[in-house]
Amino acid sequence: MAPWYVAVILGIVEGLTEFLPVSSTGHLIIAGYILDFTGPKAETFDVVIQLGAILAVVVLYRERFLGLLKTDPNRKFSGFYGLYLLFLTSLPASLLGLLAHGFIKSHLFNPITVACALAVGAIMIFVVEGRENNEKTTSLDEVTPKLAFGIGCFQCLALWPGFSRSAATIMGGMILGARRTVAAEYSFIAAVPIMFAATGYDMLKSYHLFSTEDFQFLAIGFVVSFISAWLAIKGFIYLLGKLTLRPFGVYRLILVPLIFLFF
Q: Please give the average per-residue pLDDT across 180-196, as a whole number.
A: 91
> What pLDDT does residue 139 have?
93
Quote the percentage of the chain above a pLDDT of 70.
Answer: 99
Comparing 30 with 1, the larger pLDDT belongs to 30
Average pLDDT over residues 125-129: 96
Instruction: With CA atoms as reference, report the closest residue to 121 among 72, 76, 148, 154.
Output: 154
Number of domains in the chain: 1
Average of per-residue pLDDT values in the chain? 90
Window from 99-103, 167-171, 221-225 with minimum mean pLDDT: 99-103
Question: Tell me, what's the pLDDT at 141?
Answer: 94
149 has a pLDDT exceeding 80: yes
Please count the CA atoms within 13 angstroms of the CA of 126 that sit on its side-chain side. 10
> Above 90 in pLDDT, residue 261?
no
| Mean pLDDT of all residues in 117-141 | 91
Quick one: pLDDT band at residue 212, thresholds 50, 70, 90?
confident
pLDDT for residue 210: 72
Beta pairing partners, 75: 72
Domain that holds residue 96: 4-262
The closest alpha carbon to 3, from 156, 254, 221, belongs to: 221
> Does residue 1 have a pLDDT over 80?
no
pTM of the model: 0.88
pLDDT surpasses 70 at 45:
yes
Mean pLDDT of 33-58: 88
Does 218 score more than 90 pLDDT?
A: no
Q: What is the pLDDT of residues 162-181, one digit of tens each?
A: 999 999 999 999 999 999 99
Specify the range with the lowest mean pLDDT, choosing from 44-48, 90-94, 127-131. 44-48
